Amino acid sequence: MKTVTPSPLLRFAFGADAIVSGAVALLQLAAAAWLGKLLQLPPALLLGTGLFLVGYTALLVALARSRAVWSALVRFVAIGNVGWAAGCVALMAAELVAPGPLGVGFLLVQAVTVLVFAALQWMGLASSATAPAPAAPGTSAQRSPAQQAR
């Protein structure tokens, strides 16, 4: 699988996405009932997406700190952000929920924000260098200093 050394832009995109996603997760988990009333969104939806965002935030932090990442995983995260945006819009368009004006704003701000993150992640991937392939087992890069001295 192709790996890349994350560019500063890609690290920024992952980090910013992690900060925002983590903050939204905490808000939704800590105040689901209150937010549900304020936004006129089901508290169960807020709790479920909040739980998902906890795991997603952990993934983003790990990616932001990694020396090398799989390019396919970066694409998956960016495409997932596009999917999240589409889900926010589809939730309203299909009338699966009936959010109030603040709820509509909450969903639209999320949609726009994650589209920005997706674009930054895609551009960050494009500006990342291909990571060197790991050495094959038994080559000098994998051998201990004692083995190399022989």
Q: What is the pLDDT along the chain (150 residues), one digit of tens a residue?
A: 899 999 999 999 999 999 999 999 999 999 999 999 999 999 999 999 999 999 999 999 999 999 999 999 999 999 999 999 999 999 999 988 999 999 999 999 999 999 999 999 999 999 998 877 665 555 555 555 555 555
Q: Is 4 helix (H, G, I), strand (E, B) or coil?
A: strand
129 forms bridges with which residues in the sheet?
A: 5
Helix (H) or strand (E) holding 34: helix 32-39
pTM assigned to the model:
0.84
